[in-house]
Structure 1
Amino acid sequence: MIKGIGASSGIAMGKAFVIPTWEWDFPEEMINVTDLAKEFERLYNGIRSSKDELEHIKNDIVEVVGKESSHIFDAHLAILEDPVFMSEVEAVIQRQYKAAEVAVKEVIDKFVQMFDLIDDEYMKERAVDIKDVGNRLLKHLLGDVEPAEPLTDELHILVTKELTPSQMGRLDPNQVLGIVTMLGGMNSHVSIMSRALSIPYVLGLEGKLIRPIHTGDFLIIDGEEGSVYVNPDEETIRKYQEKKQNLLKLREHLQTLAHLPSVTKDGHEVQLAANINTVFETKDAIKYGASGVGLFRTEVLFMDRETLPSEEEQFQVYKQAAEQVGGNSLVIRTLDIGGDKQLDYYQLDDEENPALGYRAIRISLDMKDLFRTQLRAILRAGIFGKVKLMYPMISSVLELRRANELLEEAKAELEAAGIPYLHHIEVGIMIEVPSAALIADLLAKEVDFFSIGTNDLVQYILAVDRMNEKVAHLYEPYHPAVMRLLKHIVDSAQRAGISVSVCGELAGDPNALPIWLGLGITQLSVSVQSILHVKQQLLVSDMEACKQLLAKIMECTTSEEIKAILQETRRDRLSV
């Protein structure tokens, strides 16, 4: 068994089909000065052919992975149109008399190395896009066709060193049981596409294999645990066959709950909404019975491209989301970049501690034109559904008021232009920093709703970076300090008569459900995959009993005590 990283959940069992690493043959001789024009013509023809091919791939996969995921290839097109890239390639041809393919290879390698050296996971993953575009262009310049997909009609588990978005776009999801790559990242384009296609995917096996995986090897991959078994014994095969069957049965059972009312045993309704990154995910959210979208993360719309999205482009995306959720709520969070989320075309300065730096609402209040553009798009989309607006990382009343002033300016601009918009949009804030939590009673007087972002809130309360392996064990969402501050936030909202929901990972943890019910929270927003798991627990829960349980939890002095109480409670619920 090899332990990698699970990027897309599910279990796949079948024979491996290995795509070998492709090696190009390059001419070593220099070109004649009289052939420079011919070499430039070859370069431009190769770029045109590459762009045409990318447009075809994008159009072919839009129905499979959705419009938003297909925008991945817009970023690839933008690389081919990038003036810096073009001038670098042209300079190598003109000054060093090298063939077009050699110039492209050198420039691509230079950019990839530059991105790989940046200590930022997102930027490292973008290096894959640059390599993908470079290989496509080299293919047209050299006249070779790299093995982009397995030449087999059999069901298989795809194995390769690194899979590119282009290769992923050409795969037949009906033939690919799963994917294994040596390299890759959780937030890479291939990971996003594999999750959209529900293909189990394990990555990060580089340096962990005792021997290479060969075509024909029998594999088991567990996309949840990140495990890969190569030619396992009969006992392991039997165990995973049983696990896969149980997983399928559980999914079938959970699906029967999708359209049941989300009501506790003692008759309290709890809205289970979805957290989404793209419009495409709204279909699955509705399929799993979500009561709308409690968090639409808009930053994905701004990433993996060369320029900011226009107001019209944003409006069309928000409008589509509003229409797809029907009469249910759509909570759109304004741009939340900075920290671990960067834009290719707007380079943020390096910071000693980006988690505490220039990010989220701080950037929006500084870049007022960008912020008003997004606000206008959201306001316009508001007339097509039950749209609500939410600001991220608010830390003071002053910040909230400044954001609302810009919202009023956006309304005035639409009014002056005679463009229809939602005049009385509900405005809420994320409670995700301790200052906002501590003045929740003051903030509650100025907004229509709260949404508690437990991921950052826990991190800031405990001063623990959960991605830092040296201190990750200290990231404890059931810490008594977290419990006490959550109660203060909810009490403040309830006293002010505004609604409060939870949208962090803790909202989707079935073990935590008694806490939310005990606090009297009746709105949770969770990942699409967590909706039915939480609902299963909700249907066998008793809100009044949870309120009594919460009193007991508030007396605990350690997170271990709290977790023990919650685990025992969950066992009792499931045994009923």
Structure 2
Amino acid sequence: MAETTESESRKLLQRLRGTLAEDSAGQARLDSIVQIIADSMATGVCSIYLFRDAETLELCATEGLKPEAVHQTRMRLGEGLVGRVARTGQIVNSANAPGERGFRYMPETGEERFSSFLGVPIQRVGDKLGVLVVQSKEAREYSDDEVYALEVVAMVLAEMTELGAFTGEGAALSARHQNPVLFRGTVAQEGTAEGQVWLHEPRVVVTNPIAENPETETKRLTDAIEQLRVTVDDMLEGIRTGDKDQREVLETYRMFAHSRGWLRRMCEDIELGLSAEAAVEKEQSAARSRLQSVPDAYMRERLHDLDDLSRRLLRILTGQGKETGAEISDRPILVARNIGPGELLDYGRSLRGIVLEQGSVGSHAAIVARALAIPLVVQARNITTEALNGDNILVDGEQGIVHLRPEDNITAAFRDKMAMQAKAQERYADIRHLPATSLCGRTTALTMNAGLMADLPSLEGSGAEGVGLFRTELQFLANRSVPRRGDLARLYGRVMDAANGRPVVFRTLDIGSDKVLPYMKRPEEPNPALGWRAIRVGLDKKGIMRMQLQALIRAAAKRPLHVMFPFVAQFDEFREARAYVFQEIERERALGRDLPESVKVGAMLETPSLAFAPDRFFEETDFVSIGGNDLKQFFFAADRENERVRRRYDTLNVSYIALIEMIIGRCRDAGTSVSFCGEDAGRPIEAMCLAALGLDGLSMRPASIGPVKHLLRRVDLGEVRDVMEAARADGAQTVRPAVNDYLGRALSSG
């Protein structure tokens, strides 16, 4: 790049700096900016289009187009050349704009007179804010130097937009981070919470996008890069030899940190007038645009590595630190793009709620959140962009709605809802020690799901009769290496101690799909939910399975042991896994160790295929737990993490009920106990219908036991079964309407 171009670019940024420093309203600033750019670049037109909402762009300032078009011309995302730039995040540089595919003729602007078009996205690390456009009458493509200069200006505009430079009287934008915002996500753990935002990775605020002295900024950048390299090298030194996957990630960090191209591009940005911080963010945004459109999944994954490294570099440059000096409130609600299980466990039960921009209902975070009984909403798009530490926030984990900076009337209604829920829980406390015996005399065992020692105090408080599912994978997910057998044995022993004689069903390691261990290489699978997971991993990696079985046997010394294998698809898998249990018992006997008082080995029925297994499966297994979450998604071929289809099919659909009924019948014929575990077990109406089908037990989160028991004790399960049968005989697709009508009559008369 020529020195004259660099000098002109710095002059342009210095002129912009002066305009931005003036005490003027937002619209006046924008008007001044487009005039300066058009004059400096000698173009006929300069225009700024900003997002009014997620799908709409508005012409907010122009020099060269008709002034009356400002705030009147709007277009949808993807519409016209401006909309294309906004949608793709890619530059459009054309010598014949009217001839380009998708060109939109807007007579109110008069732009058909201009042939040349250069559009650059205004974005800040994935946050799309608008489009900066220059146009000329002569037909020509803008040079690389001109494109580069406009990119630098767009970066400054993005930073100033973030800082609220274009708000105020007559402003083109409303102030960011001030207005109420509603986010609709996906429920991953039910519950409601009110509190203050605590950002897991606080947004680094760049307050000085334009710098006066390139030499000073270059030195600041190179010093920060050197500090970053030392940090990465120290992290690598601290990794144990066996942690291969973690080492690979840090080697990627080191590769980026030592990249000459990365440093060169940032230094060039500084030469054009940017500060070191703005240069880092500009290259981070540019890399995002490049990598997000790459079809190679491995390369897209590297985007996360570069994002993390850029954030580390920005924290060094700004001195803001990871926590930005903020103090966590006494009612923190964690807001993050995503978070690993170990990091979430570090926060523990101090959190009131969790909101993730990414994540899924089956993610590591969701598993931990369920174990901690913390409301969790995932897929809350762009919340990390909008939220600031300390913002008031309401999390509705019943509907998947998040209110950020809510208005007073919304907060009041939300508090009323929480008060009603608390009052209901007080009512359930009165029946805590009573059995779930229905009016017809049938008793259904209600047990709780758990995965951490911290869950066990809920046994007494919830009225659960035991632990119907203890998820053993959390200890594996939270560690950076395989847990030691002795540590697992001690943990499992403490769990049994805390249960105080109540039964605990330990589900063996359920990993795979989206539950990948930090120290386990993730296989590339087109459909992980149907891939190498759970018992399939255990049977292929026999060492881990046998080690876990040894730990369970030692923990149970002289006490009953209940072991359950997950995701069994055929009888042979269960038979092989069951054989390992008794082989390890014989091994422990030979070593002279104390053995369990009794051993029951069961299977989790989560695949439709196992419902049709040979009779011998039902005869040889000691108990069956129907895993409703997976069974339902496989039965209806509806991914439970896909919002478009997961709510499409009803648990009380007659076809699904027929499958559950068949499983119960086969277990009855074999004299094998059968229970139901999953989200539906904790929903009172679904739980009532499942109990009416004849299940021996239901296993759910502790908070659901009270509401389920309360309803079961008020109905006659025989009558519920008759209502369901009548609805099926009438040809209904779901028994829900008939059951709701019955409940309305039965509860009002009772």
Shared fold per TM-score greater than 0.5: yes
Structure 1 position 479, deviation (Å): 2.6
Task: Tell me the equivalent position of 1:572.
Answer: 745
Q: Of 259, 263, 282, which aligns to 2:437?
A: 263
Specify whether residues 205 and 15 from structure 1 end up closer, same or farther in structure 2 by C-alpha distance, changes over 3 A only. same
Q: 1:170 to 1:293 in 2, by over 3 A?
A: closer
- Supply the distance in 1 between the matched residues of 2:442 and 2:202 (Cα, whole angstroms): 56
2:621 maps to 447
Q: Give CA-to-partner distance per residue, 1:421-440, whole Å, 9 cap, x none.
A: 22741111122222221236
Residues 633 and 646 in structure 2, CA contact (< 8 A), matched pair in contact too: no
- TM-score, length of structure 2 as denominator length: 0.60
1:331 and 2:505 equivalent? yes
Shift in Å, 1:485 = 2.2
* Distance in 2 between residues matched to 1:347 and 1:116, nearest whole Å: 25
CA distance in 2, matches of 1:550, 1:450: 24
Does the C-alpha gap of structure 1 residues 557 and 384 become closer, same or farther in structure 2, counting only changes over 3 Å? farther
Letter in 2 for 1:4: R
Say whether 1:21 aligns with 2:227: no
State the Cα distance separating 1:30 from its structure 2 match: 11
Residue of structure 2 equivalent to 1:406: 580
1:556–1:503: structure 2 CA closer, same or farther, 3 Å change rule? farther
SS in 2 for 1:559: coil
With 22-31 and 299-308 compared, the bigger mean Cα shift is at: 22-31
Q: Rate the CA distance shift 1:439–1:135 in 2: closer, same or farther, 3 A.
A: same
Unaligned 5+ runs, structure 2: 1-180, 209-215, 267-279
Count, aligned residues: 535
Taking a change above 3 Å as real, the CA distance of residues 409 and 564 of structure 1, as seen in their structure-2 partners, is same
Range 464-473 or range 412-421, more displaced: 464-473
- Counterpart of 2:275 in structure 1 is none
Give, as a single letter, the amino acid of the residue that structure 1 aligns with 2:618.
A
- 1:250-399 to structure 2, matched below 5 A, reads 250-383=424-557, 385-399=559-573
Task: Give the root-mean-square deviation of aligned CA atoms.
Answer: 4.8
Specify whether residues 237 and 514 from structure 1 end up closer, same or farther in structure 2 by C-alpha distance, changes over 3 A only. closer
The answer to whether 1:148 aligns with 2:330 is no
Distance 1:206 1:446, change over 3 A: closer
Shift of 1:232: 4.8
1:2 aligns to 2:177 (yes or no): no
Listed one character per residue, the Cα deviations across residues 431-469 of structure 1 (whole Å, up to 9, x for unaligned) are 222222123633221121111122222333333333334
1:484 to 655, 658, 662: 658
CA–CA separation in structure 2 for the residues paired with 1:322 and 1:195: 20
Task: Specify whether residues 315 and 541 from structure 1 end up closer, same or farther in structure 2 by C-alpha distance, changes over 3 A only.
Answer: same
Cα gap change, 1:197/1:361 in structure 2, threshold over 3 Å: closer, same or farther? closer
| 1:69 paired residue number | none
- CA drift of 1:187 comes to 6.0
Q: State the partner residue of 1:422.
A: 596
Secondary structure of 1:491 counterpart: helix
> C-alpha offsets along residues 277-305 of structure 1, whole Å, 9 cap, x if unaligned?
33322222332011111112222232244
Amino acid in structure 2 at the alignment position of 1:571: G
Q: After superposition, give the CA deviation of every residue in 1:225-259 in whole Å (9 maximum; x if it has no partner).
A: 23233555554344223222212211222233322
C-alpha separation in 2, matches of 1:81 and 1:189: 17
Sort the Cα spacing of 1:312 and 1:167 in 2 relative to 1 into closer, same or farther, 3 A. closer
Q: Secondary structure at the match of 1:332?
A: strand
Give me the identity figure in percent.
27
Three-state SS of the structure 1 residue aligned to 2:543 is helix
Give the deviation of 1:353 after TM superposition.
3.7
CA contact (8 A) 2:567 2:604 kept: yes
Compared CA separation, residues 130 and 116, structure 1 to 2 (3 A): farther
Q: 1:80 to 1:257 in 2, by over 3 A?
A: farther
1:298–1:333 Cα contact (<8 Å) kept: yes
Matches within 5 A, 1:203-218: 204-207=379-382, 212=386
Residue in structure 2 matched with residue 526 of structure 1 by the alignment? 700
CA contact (8 A) 1:262 1:272 kept: yes
- What is the CA distance between 1:90 and its match in structure 2? 5.9
- Distance in 2 (CA, whole Å) between partners of 1:223 and 1:359 is 28
Pairing of 1:55-66 with structure 2 (within 5 A): none
Tell me, yes or no, if structure 1 residue 494 matches structure 2 residue 494: no
Q: Mark the CA change 1:357 to 1:235 in structure 2 (over 3 Å): closer, same or farther.
A: closer
Residues 408, 566 of structure 1: CA spacing in aligned structure 2 closer, same or farther, 3 A cutoff?
same
Checking the alignment, whether the CA contact within 8 Å between 1:323 and 1:384 is kept in structure 2 is no
Structure 1 alignment gaps of length 5 or more: 52-73
| Residues 559, 338 of structure 1: alpha-carbon distance in 2 compared, 3 angstrom cutoff | farther
* 2:100 aligned partner: none
Relative contact order higher in (CA < 8 Å, ≥ 6 apart):
1
Could you tell me which residue of structure 1 aligns to residue 157 of structure 2? none
Task: Find the counterpart in structure 1 of residue 69 from structure 2.
Answer: none
Q: CA deviation at 1:483?
A: 1.8
Q: Is the 8 A contact 1:8 1:202 kept in 2?
A: yes
Q: Secondary structure at the match of 1:445?
A: helix
**1:207 to 1:82, Cα distance in 2 relative to 1, 3 A:** closer
- Which of residues 400, 412, 417 is equivalent to 1:243? 417
Q: In the alignment, residue 84 of structure 1 is paired with which amino acid?
A: E
Structure with max Cα Rg: 2
Amino acid at match of 2:184: G
SS at match of 2:562: strand
Question: Does structure 1 conserve the Cα–Cα contact (< 8 Å) formed by 2:245 and 2:520?
Answer: no
* Kept in 1: contact 2:204–2:314 (CA 8 A): no
Provide the C-alpha distance between the structure 2 equivalents of 1:478 and 1:365, rounded to a whole number of angstroms.
34
Q: Is the 8 A contact 1:441 1:493 kept in 2?
A: no
